[in-house]
Amino acid sequence: MKRPWTPGEDAELRCLYRQGVKLATIGKRLGRPRHGVAWRCRHIGLSRTPPCHKAAVRALHADGLNDAEIARRLKIHATTAWRVRRRLGLPAVGRSWGTLPKPQRRRIYLRNMQRSGCRNFAQFRYDRESVRCLLDGWPPRCSARTARSLAAVHRLGPVTRPDLASHLGMKPHSVSRLFMRLLARGWVTHVGRSGRWLLYDLTPAVRRNRDLALARREAS
């Protein structure tokens, strides 16, 4: 039998949600599943979207801008602009991807997969991420998660595994497995020690390619 929400739980939920605590952590504290916490947040009107974004999306939508144009104007992700517009109950402007019928979206996926020579959508998505990472200056066959980790190492300089784990919000053992793969591929190397922890940094070739890609982006 479902346990009803009490006013005390609602107050604690509001407090933790506004502090930025994850829904899974809130669920563990309240003894409820994550999907139940997410439903209660929607039910009582909790949202982490800043009010300025809602007002700006509403104003730009009234000017006739679509989701991608709103995202570029506000310097937010296109998915965030789409989600805010949907929550405000505003119709889509033009033929956005979300308004296309499923058969048409499937035909577009299949056509793009055939052009790229991929066998399935998972391989097509991985290849598309690899091309994007290659344009950003990362080595070939680099996934988006690996590129995010390499970008953090490039930005922070020589870093230890615990520091990188706390910076990326990952678990230490996940970072350890990640560094084992990066060391095997020759993308990072040991550069010294900080206490009992090893310091890792990008290899000169990877760092040089990343610097060149950033320079090209700034020049364009």
pLDDT in tens, the chain (220 residues): 578 888 888 899 888 887 878 888 888 888 888 888 888 888 887 877 666 778 888 898 888 888 878 888 887 777 778 888 888 888 877 765 555 666 766 776 677 666 656 666 666 665 666 666 666 777 776 777 788 888 888 888 888 888 888 887 778 788 888 888 888 888 888 878 777 777 888 888 888 888 888 887 777 6
Residue 62's closest CA among 85, 82, 79?
85
Whose structure tokens read 């310091």?
A: 199
Torsion of Cα atoms, 77 then 79 then 82 then 84, to 10°: -70
Residue 179: how many other CB atoms lie within 10 Å: 19
Angle, helix 161-168 to helix 144-156, in steps of 10 degrees: 120
Whole-structure pTM value: 0.43
Return the bridge partners of 192, or none: 199
Domain limits, the chain: 7-43, 51-98, 102-131, 136-219
Whose structure tokens read 């000017």?
A: 63
Q: Tell me the CATH number of domain 136-219, given options 3.30.70.1400, 3.30.429.10, 1.10.10.10, 3.30.1490.20.
A: 1.10.10.10
Question: 98: Cβ–Cβ under 8 A, 6 or more apart, which residues?
Answer: 82, 92
